Each structure stands twice: as structure tokens, then as C-alpha cells.
């Protein structure tokens, strides 16, 4: 009965896409779904409307209310335009920036957005070619706009597209704006309410002049220019994985003073089909395989990779046996924070009580150890860089932001951008390499020095994919089960603290003591902390059909030679923890 009712509802919804308000190609595709005996595609395409998650609007491209297409993009933009016109009615002119990445249809969707905004009387700065997400954030702030959009699905597979919506501070929208925009979008009951006929007089192309100002600003974050001058010939292999970093990241590295940037020709080809990879995600080892091959050929010092919209950075370094190893997102954030605090301290730039850093709750706790040791305040946020940006905004003009990051390969080493930034992060990571070399160390040795000084940690991420409507229901059931039957041990170590961000409550199982969690809103996240320092975080993804498990184990590292053995012990412990979690 329930399935028949669902089919009835999606059928009625789909038939509304057969009117003349939709183009012929869309109507034909929807009719084909309606005609199929198997209603799976119809259900998946229409059972819900796309909404803003932690990464904005994102989904598989195709016809339907649950797909990314010119109509869902147009409706979302109309809703955003309506909200902007209400929120900034007091201004003589409302303006937005629109950017787009290398994905199929990104330019087309960007032009749809420009038309809808301009049709609603909003002035549009449209980038003339693909640009990184962080540059769009920079442009919003630089041009003093009220909002902005970039058409991207970040590191998702080629079938996906979407867009990230930004507010006047250059950060992704947070409450109450995100919910209010959703309400405005949901208030559009008919596609005829979307104004698709643009006003070309209100659309201005931008490009090279913003690139120049962006790179000039990034150069100001350098803390060790003398080390760069001494090691300007470091061999840096960089790949954009077919994306937006193809020109601007090498240009930024050269502006910093590095002269030996080595490309990966096959992956310099800009393409939304991502022909050399299964997934254009620098978190995936396979995405860096061509870059690692190139690095071996030229005996490189480091490998860097950015995702399609150049907000995430992946790196590979050599270990003590001259073997290439991938550095995970926790380690990357750790290296960045260590360097920014350590170097500022060396330069006398730390003023106690004024500086702060930010990380997400699922990112390694070692970052807090470093901050505490140097009397730098650290703030924990939910996953999603919009929350890190919200903390920066809270303290703007009052305290100095040093840096912030998340385990999913995103870092922001400055505050003139308000989203994770692989462009400035690439430049800074190259500088850290030069700084380490000046001290006679490799990045590998620097990482192990951090572990020896602040404690060893090892992290593992597990994603359980559950696609479609049935998958969403399974994910909900799994989260409900963890709440109703809490985990009481992790690999034999008793759980001493549980944090449930859905109710903003934490409690200690042994004593029953509970306390409130101070966060801007509730979130469907559970965390377990055990007596031996293990941390497990569980959350459904806000942008993908997954439930994610983040595991961190702790230990002591007394010498560099112990590192491989400690990693092996951690891997064995991960298996026991997964068993404790029922995985």
C-alpha cells in the first residue's frame, strides 16, 4: 500500500513536468520514466525536492525535482533572489558573484543563474571561465556583494552537479539564511514563477583582474619567504585532476617564489568526464596515481592535488625509505596548524588570548593539544566549512584567526576567503616544505616530530553507502539504533563520554552525569570517547547517500623508528573498534 501511494504521488508530481513550461527534451525524458514498468528511476527522480545540505544544493544531473537541472537550479536561484531582495531591500543595489567549475553543464547552469538573478533586478558578476570555489568567496568579499553562487559538485563523481550558495561575508549560508532560502524555494509552486528571461545589462563578466588581486592577497600569508628563496627549486608535482586549479595554483606557487612546478599533462585537460580517474577526489589514492608516477620520474619533493573546484588539497610525501605515502586530511590539518602556530611564535606574532583556530568535531584531537600548549584558543564546529566561517565572522575585528581545517582535506590559512581553499593551502604547504628543509628535515620527519611532541594519533574513515529513498531510511534506522542501544566499549576500552548533537546533550555512562553542548543548532551526529583516548564519530553525510564513521586512536611515539609499528597496531585496533560498532 505504501509503495503504491508513493508511486501515485511521484506520478502526479512528474506529470506537472509535461507542461509547456518545460523544454521538449525534459518532457520526453519524464514521459519515458512514466512509461517504464519499473518505477525506480521515476521514484528516485521525483520522491523529494533537492535541499541545501552542508555543501549546498547537490545531486545527480537529470530531469526531476530530485535532480540537478535547469529547473531545479532556476527555482533555487529564484528562491535565493527573492530572499536577497527581502533581506537587502534597503540597499540601492544588490549584487552577486557567479562562478563555475569544470563539470558538464556547469557553464550552462551558471548562465541560468545569471539570467534569473538579473531578471529579478540583481546585478551579476559572472566569471568568464571556470574558477576555484575559494576565488568566488574572495570575489564576493572583494566586490562587496550580498551573495554568490558557484556551480560545482566538488569531488563527487561525474554524474553530479550542484551549487554552493554564499552570503555577504563570502561564507556558505548558515541558519537562519539557509532555512529561509529553502522556505522561499518551497514557496515556488509552479515553474512559471521562475524568471528565466535575464537582463543582460545587469550581467558583467569578470576574470583576470580578480585572479591578480586574489593571488596578491594570498602572498601576504607567507611567513618564511627567506626559506623559499633558499629552496626555490623544490620539485613540486601538481595535478588539478581536470579541474579549476589548472592555471591559478601553479601561478600562485610561482608568485610565492617556487620555480619548479611540474605538471601532470593528462590531468591538465579540463573535463567534466574526469577521463583519467574513477573519482576526482584527492582523498582517493587512485586519483593521485598519475601524479605519483610523475613524481617518481622526476624525483619530486612533494605531490599536490586539488579537487575539481579547488577547495580540497591532497598531498603525498616521501617516508624515510624514499617511498611515497599519502597524507590524510587529519595529518594535513595537523601540519598546517603546527606550522602556523610554531612559526608565528618564532616571529613573535602570537599575542596570548587574541589568536584562535577552528576545527570540525570529527577532526583529530591532536590539534587541540598543539593549541593548548601555545595558549591559542580552539573552537570545534560541525562538519562543513560554513561553520568554521561562522566562527571567523563571530570574532571578526576582535580576534586573530590563524587557521582552520577539517579531516576531509579542507583547510583555510587566512580569512579573506571564507571557505576551504586549496589555492592558498598549496602555496603554504610548499612553504612549510621549504621551512622544514631549511631545518634539515623532510615533511615526513616534521610530521613524526609532531607526533613525538604531542602524542601519536591514527585515523580511519568508513563510509557505508545507502542509495536512494530506501537507503535514506536505512541510514535513519542505523542512527536510531545507535541512540537506543549505545556503544559501551571500543576495542575493550570503556566508553566514558557520549555526545549526541541531535539533542545537544552529553553524558558520562559510568556516573550518569550529563551536560549541555553549546552549538549553533542541532545536528545528527553521535560521538563516543573511550578511556584510552579513542574517539568515534557517526553521522549521515549531508551531501552524499552515506553514513560516515570517523575513528581516531591515540598512542605514544618515542622515536621515528616506532612509527610503522604504531601504525600497524592502530590498524589492528580499528578492526576491533569496527566490531564494537557492529560493522
The whole-number pLDDT of residue 57 equals 86
CA distances from 112 to 76, 124, 506 (A): 11, 12, 46
Domains, the chain, with CATH or none: 70-206 (3.40.120.10), 220-454 (3.40.120.10), 457-580 (3.30.310)
- The pTM of this model reads 0.94
Mean pLDDT by groups of 10 residues along the chain of 583 residues: 81 94 95 94 91 74 96 94 97 98 98 98 98 98 98 92 95 89 88 96 98 98 98 98 98 98 98 96 95 98 97 97 96 98 95 91 97 96 94 96 96 97 98 98 98 97 83 88 92 96 95 94 95 95 82 97 97 95 87
Active site residues: 154
Whether 78 contacts 188, CB under 8 Å: yes
The whole-number pLDDT of residue 583 equals 83
Whether 482 contacts 540, CB under 8 Å: no
Phi/psi of residue 150, nearest 5 degrees: -125, 135
Phi/psi of residue 499, nearest 5 degrees: -115, 125
The whole-number pLDDT of residue 395 equals 96
Q: How far apart are CA 105 and CA 163, in angstroms?
A: 12
Strand spans (E) along 146-209: 147-151, 160-166, 203-206
| Ordered DSSP codes for 3-62 | HHHHHHHHHHHHHGGGSTTS-HHHHHHHHHHHH-S--HHHHHHHSS----BTTBEEEEBS
Closest among 91, 79, 100 to 151, alpha carbons compared? 100
Q: How far apart are CA 220 and CA 346, in angstroms?
A: 18
**Going by C-beta distance under 8 Å and a sequence separation of 6 or more, which residues neighbour residue 179?**
none
The whole-number pLDDT of residue 384 equals 87
Q: How far apart are CA 580 and CA 583, in angstroms?
A: 8
The whole-number pLDDT of residue 2 equals 59
Q: How far apart are CA 415 and CA 420, in angstroms?
A: 10
Amino acid at each position: 500500500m505504501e509503495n503504491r501511494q508513493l508511486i501515485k504521488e511521484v506520478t502526479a508530481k512528474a506529470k506537472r513536468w509535461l507542461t509547456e513550461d518545460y523544454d521538449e527534451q525534459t518532457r520526453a525524458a519524464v514521459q519515458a520514466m512514466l512509461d517504464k514498468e519499473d518505477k525506480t528511476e521515476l521514484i528516485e527522480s521525483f520522491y523529494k525536492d533537492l535541499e541545501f545540505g552542508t555543501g549546498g544544493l547537490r545531486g545527480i544531473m537529470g530531469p526531476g525535482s530530485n535532480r540537478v537541472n535547469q529547473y531545479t537550479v532556476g527555482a533555487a536561484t529564484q528562491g535565493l533572489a527573492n530572499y536577497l531582495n527581502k533581506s537587502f531591500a534597503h540597499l540601492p543595489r544588490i549584487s552577486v558573484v557567479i562562478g563555475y567549475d569544470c563539470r558538464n553543464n556547469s557553464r550552462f547552469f551558471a548562465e541560468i543563474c545569471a539570467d534569473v538573478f538579473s531578471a529579478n533586478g540583481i546585478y551579476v558578476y559572472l566569471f568568464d571561465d571556470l574558477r576555484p570555489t575559494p576565488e568566488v568567496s574572495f570575489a564576493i568579499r572583494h566586490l562587496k556583494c550580498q551573495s554568490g553562487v558557484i556551480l560545482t559538485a566538488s569531488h563527487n563523481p561525474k554524474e553530479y552537479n550542484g551549487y554552493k550558495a554564499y552570503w555577504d561575508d563570502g561564507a556558505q549560508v548558515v541558519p537562519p539564511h539557509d532555512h529561509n532560502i529553502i522556505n522561499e524555494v518551497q514557496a515556488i509552486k509552479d515553474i512559471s514563477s521562475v524568471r528565466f528571461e535575464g537582463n543582460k545589462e545587469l550581467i558583467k563578466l569578470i576574470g583576470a583582474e580578480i585572479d591578480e588581486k586574489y593571488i596578491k592577497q594570498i602572498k601576504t600569508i607567507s611567513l618564511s619567504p627567506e626559506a623559499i628563496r633558499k629552496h626555490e627549486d623544490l620539485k613540486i608535482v601538481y595535478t588539478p585532476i581536470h579541474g579549476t586549479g589548472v592555471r591559478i595554483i601553479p601561478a600562485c606557487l610561482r608568485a610565492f617564489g617556487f620555480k619548479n612546478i611540474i605538471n601532470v599533462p593528462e590531468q591538465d585537460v579540463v573535463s567534466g568526464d574526469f577521463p583519467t580517474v574513477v573519482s576526482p577526489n584527492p582523498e582517493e589514492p587512485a586519483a593521485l596515481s598519475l601524479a605519483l608516477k610523475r613524481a617518481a620520474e622526476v624525483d619530486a619533493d612533494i605531490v599536490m592535488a586539488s579537487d575539481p573546484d579547488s577547495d580540497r588539497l591532497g598531498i603525498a610525501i616521501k617516508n624515510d625509505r624514499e617511498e611515497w605515502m599519502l597524507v590524510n586530511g587529519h595529518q594535513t590539518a595537523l601540519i598546517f596548524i603546527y606550522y602556523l602556530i610554531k612559526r608565528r611564535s618564532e616571529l613573535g606574532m602570537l599575542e596570548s588570548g587574541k589568536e584562535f583556530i577552528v576545527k570540525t568535531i570529527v577532526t583529530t584531537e591532536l590539534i587541540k593539544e598543539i593549541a593548548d600548549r601555545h595558549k591559542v584558543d580552539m573552537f570545534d564546529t560541525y562538519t562543513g566549512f560554513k561553520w568554521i566561517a561562522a566562527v571567523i565572522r563571530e570574532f571578526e575585528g576582535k580576534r586573530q584567526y590563524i587557521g582552520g581545517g577539517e579531516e576531509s582535506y579542507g583547510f583555510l590559512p587566512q580569512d579573506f576567503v571564507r571557505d576551504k581553499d586549496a589555492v592558498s593551502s598549496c602555496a603554504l604547504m610548499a612553504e612549510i616544505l621549504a621551512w622544514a628543509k631549511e631545518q634539515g628535515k623532510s615533511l615526513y620527519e616534521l610530521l613524526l616530530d609532531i607526533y613525538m611532541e604531542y602524542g601519536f594519533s591514527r585515523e580511519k574513515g568508513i563510509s557505508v553507502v545507502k542509495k536512494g529513498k530506501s537507503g535514506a531510511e536505512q541510514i535513519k534506522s542505523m542512527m536510531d539504533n545507535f541512540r537506543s542501544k549505545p556503544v559501551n566499549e571500543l576495542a575493550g576500552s570503556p566508553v566514558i563520554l557520549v555526545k549526541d548533537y541531535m539533542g545537544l546533550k552529553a553524558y558520562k555512562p559510568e556516573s550518569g552525569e550529563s551536560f549541555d553542548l553549546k552549538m549553533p543548532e542541532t545536528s545528527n551526529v553521535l560521538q563516543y570517547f573511550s578511556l584510552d583516548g579513542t574517539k568515534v564519530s557517526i553521522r549521515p553525510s549531508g551531501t552524499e547517500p552515506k553514513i560516515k564513521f570517523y575513528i581516531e586512536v591515540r598512542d605514544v611515539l618515542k622515536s621515528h623508528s616506532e612509527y610503522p609499528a604504531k601504525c600497524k597496531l592502530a590498524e589492528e585496533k580499528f578492526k576491533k573498534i569496527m566490531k564494537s560498532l557492529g560493522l
